[in-house]
Every structure is written in structure tokens, then in C-alpha cells.
Structure 1
Amino acid sequence: MKEKLLLDVEIYVAELLNKQLASTNYYHNAIHTRNVVASITELANREQCTKQDTLGLLLAGWFHDTGFIYTDLGHEEESVKIAHSFLKEQNVPEDTRNLVEQLILATKIELKPNNKLESIIRDADCGHIASDDYLDISENLFKEKNAKNGNHLSEIEWMKQNLDFLKGHSFYSDSAKQIWQPKKELNLLEVQKRIYKISQKKKKKKKKSTRFGRGVETMYRVQLKNHIELSAIADTKANILLSVNAIIISVALSNLIPKLDNPSNLFLVYPTLILTLSSVASIILSVLSTRPKISNVAITKEMIKENKTNILFFGNFHKMNLQDFEWGIDYLMDNEDTLYNSLTKDLYYLGLVLNRKYKLLRITYTVFMFGIIISAASFIYSYYINMPL
């Protein structure tokens, strides 16, 4: 019954927001609502809420921003009306409706939560500040505010508002403090870095190059992610081959080789030897394909300035001291040409590593395949010629 109710609510709210919400709601929309519901689910499980309390939280999470279809200021009250109307039609008990209305009103930013459930929904509503995509989400809220208020905040003004908010914000539930506070602190540092970078650009009066933008950043992000995923796939394939061949060698050592002491089983020597050697060769090739390689070159500041190295890869900067590494990162943040050049080098060398891995994997699979075929043929042939007439 509860599952059906939640499904009906999800469908109703999604349709309501998608059809009636203003196009300028870049942040307060169905995506934000789903994220809040997901955060509520996580916190409610960690806080060991009862099924009834969890239901109330989830219903409130779905409805808490529906009032935006009518107004921004005081949308919580409108959300309460929408929730009350729908839940009453679904014959939801009055105590559950009252809990949902209480929790929706608790999302008002100026109020402090009075109990555990209010703390959970307040933390879930601000869960994006502990997200890995915080800056992207913040940009959507930035666009929404500028589109609706018409005051056109500058990027640095918006970042400073973010900084003030993050410094003044506190999570209320114990679970959010435990799992989200560290991520929030990291995002606070990211905002500080962004403010510093913007300030430095203004001081130097540098115009942003037209060839650098979100499209270029997306290209690098997607390509680097694809290369890393391909590398992980190659490592997985190599591990599979390692495991399979290790099992084959174990079986050969424990079952076949002890039988070779018997003169009547001498015809098994060559097939067993072929099987074992092909498995050993496959293991060696698999290990070679996954063996890491780290540079031994000592990186200098001159090399960074002249675009001769990439300190974004740990294999290059592991010999640098902390002070030089921090200088190098700051230099990259202040010089887009050098930064993108480092990303290009990273992409190129990842490609070389992938080329080596997949070449070795191809050889490994070939050795393994022919080894199995030849071994099987040898066993069949040996049994055939030694079969008593």
C-alpha cells in the first residue's frame, strides 16, 4: 500500500513540475526533488526511522517544492495545500497528512528544526552542498536567481554568497554530520579556489580565451573518463585471465602431474606440459599488461612553465616536495594554456598506456585460446594412439 502510494505521488509530482513549473526553475525542479528524496532515503535508513516516519519524510520530500508552480515567496504554504489535497484524495490518514505538512513547512530556511524528522528533511534539502557536482548545481541556482530577479549577479558575487552560506551552514542530523560534513568542507575549499582564480584574472585583466569554455571542459572530462573506464575494463579482463589460468595450473598440479609417475600414464606428459606452459605464459602476459609504470624524472618549475610535463598525474609529481607541487597547481590555475596542455598530455599518455595494455591482452587471449585448443587436441590424440586395440 505504501509503495503504491509513493509511486502515485512520484508520478503526480513529476508530471505537475514538468508541465506547470516555469522554465526559469533551473534548480528548483523535478531533478532537485528526486535528489532530495534520495537523500531522505539515505538519512532515514541511517537514523533508523520507523516505516511510518520514513513514509512521512518521503511524501514531504516529493511535495516540498511543488508550490513553486504558483509562487517563489511562500512556496512552502502552497506546497502544503497541494500535498493536503492530493493525499486526502488518496485517503491518507490525517496524522500522516499532518506530519507531511509539518515537515514541508520545516524546509523554510529561516526556521530551525525542532526534532529528528525535521532535521532530516532540512539536511536532505541542502544535501547538494555535499555533492561531487556542487559547483554545477550551484551554477543552476545562479542561473535561476538571475533569470527571476533580473539583478544579474556576477560570478564572483555569487561565489562569495556561496562561501558565506557554506561557512554559516550546519547539518542537523548526526548522520549528515558524519557522512556529508567532510564533503561540504571540500566544496568550501573549491569555492575559495574559484574566488581566488576569478580575482587573479581580474587583477591581471586577462581576457578569457574564446577557445576555452564548457564545451572544451566537457570534452576533456568525457574523454578522460572514457580512457579511465577502458583502462579499468582492461585490468578486469587481465584479472579474469589470471584467475582462470591459476585454476588450470592448480588442477594440473593436483590431479594430472601426480599421475605421471605411473608408466601407463606417460602419454599424458606432453598434453599436460602444453596446458601448463600456455597457462603460465598467459599469467605472465596478464601481469605485464597490468604492471604499473611510474616516471623517475624529477619535475622542476621550469619544466612546468615550458609545458614539458604534466603534474596532474601522480606518477610525475611523486618526487616533488609539497611546496613546489602547490606552486605548480597554482600556476596551472592561473594559466589556462598550461592547464589545458597538461590535460592534453594526460589524455595522450593515457592513450599510450591503453594501447600497450590492449596489445598485451590481445596476445594473452591468443596464447590462452591456442593453448587450450592445442592442449585439448593433444589429450585427444594421446588417448587415441594409446587406446588398447
Structure 2
Amino acid sequence: MKEINTEQGFSPLVNKAQAFTLQLFGQRQDGRLLVHNYSFAASVSDKVAEIISEEGVNQDTAECTQLAAWLLPGGYLYDYQNPAQFSQEVARQFFSQNTTEEGLAERVIECIGDVLRGDAPISEEVRILSDAVQAATYLPEQEEKAALLQLERELILGQRFSRSEWPRLLLEELLRVKLHTQYAQAILQPRLAQAIYQTRRSLEKRLEKEDVLSGPFSQLEEKIPQRGAQTFFRTNYRNHINLSSLADNKANIMISVNAILLSVLITFLSYRNIGENTPEILL
């Protein structure tokens, strides 16, 4: 029997699986995998170690589950939506390079397939790994993880979620999560309930906002600033034109009056001059 440190969750073979996974993600780097990457494998391994230490499982089960934890995420590099087959192939490749005790490789490969396909757990290692995967996916820093998970799916699947579509989808996934070990039910279930509550509240707020924006007066607030600015400038421009027109009219009137006065003055002066110099003309 190979010695395993249940506190750290590592054995010599598990260390090799860790190095194998690190090399795999290093060779086939995919920047779109924001969640299901090497860090995800490390998180699943940590959760497995946490559950193992509380459940008090035997060394065989502990090593099997830790190996599966490190090898499981590899399939996401090949097929994001259906990683089970490729994750199992990654595990087979690892075991072809590393000798193991009889039956261990088959148990690990079967465990990975059962968890990724969502089959009902029939073994202890499947229950432990399933709880660890769910916890690593949805529960640690849930809001940040959810945002990264959304962006990952948008990048890889090429689809854009609306403000309400993503929380609705996430809520459906959270409601489908099932925890199997006693430790997960006692410790992780309350955190899952909190994640469900927060996601539900987020969905309701976004739906309320969409209802307001889609109401009969939804465009009023958006159009007021633009129309108000347009009205302001039109009014100012019209006033400017009117004032200019008034000024022009006033100037024309003043010129006309001045011309009339000047004509009268000239006429008066001319008449007076004629009267003084040649009065016979007036007679």
C-alpha cells in the first residue's frame, strides 16, 4: 500500500498526477478557460483533501479520489461541453506512463467519468469527488467565480448572455447541485443555500430593472436630455434670428426717418432761401 498524507492529500503518485496536469495545461494553453484550468484542478484537490480528512476514508479511496481530482479537468481542453471522454483519455495516458497497483487506474477512470457525466454516485470516491467539484465550481468566492464562469462560456461557446439570462441559468445550475458526503451536507450545504439566495436576489433585481426599462414610459427619460438640448439650441437660435431681424428693422426705420427729416429740412431751407432772394417767384 502506498503511503498518503491525508492532511495534504498527496502521495508520490498524486504528485506525479499534479505535475502531469500542470504540463498538460502548459502545453495546450487556452486563455478562454478562466475556470476549468490548472487552478481548478488544484481547488478540486484541496476540497477532496478537506472532505477526506473529515470523512475518515481509507488510504485506497483517498489516493483514488486525489488522482481523479488532478486528472479530471484535462478533458475541458479538448471538448468543453462534453469533457468526460477526453478526461478519461487523459487519465489513461497518465497511467500508461506510470505503473500503479492493480485496479487503481480503472477506478480513477471510472470515477472521473461518473462525476463529469453526472451519474448517480455508487462509490465513496465518486461521492467525494462530486462534492469537491461542485464546491470548487460554485462555492468559493461565489460571485467572482460566477462572473468568470459566465465569461468563460461566452468566450468558448460564442454566446452572449443578457443581464437576466445568466443569473437565471446559474440559479438553475445551483438548484441542481446535490451534495453526497456528510461533511458537504453539514458544511457546504449552508454555503450553497446562500449562493442560491444571492443569485435569486440578483435575478429579481435585474428583472425589475428590465420591467421598468420596457414600460410605456421607458424611452421618456432617455429622450428628455437629447430633446431638451435640441429645444434649447433651437429656441436660442430662433431668438437670435428674431432679435437680429428686429435690430435690422429698427435700423431701417431710423434710416428712413432720418432721410425724411433731412428731406424736409432741405425743402424748408430751399423754400426760405427762395423767398428771401426771389420773392416774385412765390407770387
TMscore range, shorter length: 0.5 to 0.7
Distance in 2, Cα, partners of 1:164 & 1:68: 22
After superposition, the C-alpha distances for 1:9-33 in whole angstroms (9 at most, x for unaligned) are: 2122112113304221111111111
Of 185, 204, 208, the residue aligned with 2:193 is 185
Q: What code does the residue aligned with 2:40 have?
A: H
Residues 91-106 of structure 1: pairs in structure 2 closer than 5 A = 91-106=99-114
Distance in 2, Cα, partners of 1:20 & 1:129: 21
8 Å Cα contact 1:87-1:97 kept in structure 2: yes
The answer as to 2:47 corresponding to 1:39 is yes
1:108 maps to: 116
2:208 maps to: 200
Of 63, 68, 77, the residue aligned with 2:85 is 77
Distance in 1, Cα, partners of 2:172 & 2:73: 24
Identify if the C-alpha distance between structure 1 residues 129 and 59 changes in structure 2 by more than 3 Å, giving closer, same or farther: closer
The answer as to 2:130 corresponding to 1:122 is yes
Percent identity between the aligned chains?
Answer: 17
Residues 347-358 of structure 1: pairs in structure 2 closer than 5 A = none
1:280 maps to: none
Q: What code does the residue aligned with 2:139 have?
A: S
Residue 152 of structure 1, CA deviation: 0.9
1:89 maps to: 97
Residue 83 of structure 1, CA deviation: 1.5
Distance in 1, Cα, partners of 2:132 & 2:126: 10
1:344 maps to: none
Report the more deviating stretch, 119-128 or 79-88.
79-88
Of 142, 148, 154, the residue aligned with 1:140 is 148
Q: What code does the residue aligned with 1:14 have?
A: L
Residue 142 of structure 1, CA deviation: 0.8
For structure 1, the 5+ residue unaligned runs are 207-389
Which SS does the other structure have where 1:91 is aligned? coil
After superposition, the C-alpha distances for 1:300-353 in whole angstroms (9 at most, x for unaligned) are: xxxxxxxxxxxxxxxxxxxxxxxxxxxxxxxxxxxxxxxxxxxxxxxxxxxxxx
Distance in 1, Cα, partners of 2:173 & 2:17: 32
Please give the TM-score of this superposition, normalised by the length of structure 2. Answer: 0.68
2:176 maps to: 168
The answer as to 2:76 corresponding to 1:68 is yes
Query: What is the count of residue pairs matched by the alignment?
Result: 207
Distance in 1, Cα, partners of 2:172 & 2:138: 15
8 Å Cα contact 1:26-1:140 kept in structure 2: yes
Larger Cα-atom Rg: 2
Distance in 2, Cα, partners of 1:178 & 1:164: 22
Residue 125 of structure 1, CA deviation: 0.8
2:157 maps to: 149
Q: What code does the residue aligned with 2:181 have?
A: S
Distance in 1, Cα, partners of 2:83 & 2:173: 21
After superposition, the C-alpha distances for 1:25-67 in whole angstroms (9 at most, x for unaligned) are: 1111111111111111111121111111100100000001112
Distance in 2, Cα, partners of 1:29 & 1:137: 13
Q: What code does the residue aligned with 2:108 have?
A: V
Residue 143 of structure 1, CA deviation: 0.9
After superposition, the C-alpha distances for 1:138-160 in whole angstroms (9 at most, x for unaligned) are: 11111111112222121311101
Distance in 2, Cα, partners of 1:15 & 1:68: 15
For structure 2, the 5+ residue unaligned runs are 4-10, 219-283
Residue 168 of structure 1, CA deviation: 2.8
Residue 96 of structure 1, CA deviation: 1.0
Identify if the C-alpha distance between structure 1 residues 115 and 8 changes in structure 2 by more than 3 Å, giving closer, same or farther: closer
The answer as to 2:34 corresponding to 1:26 is yes
Of 6, 9, 14, the residue aligned with 2:17 is 9
Q: Relative CO higher for 1 or 2, CA cutoff 8 Å, sep ≥ 6?
A: 2
Distance in 1, Cα, partners of 2:44 & 2:177: 17
8 Å Cα contact 2:34-2:148 kept in structure 1: yes
Q: What code does the residue aligned with 1:83 have?
A: A
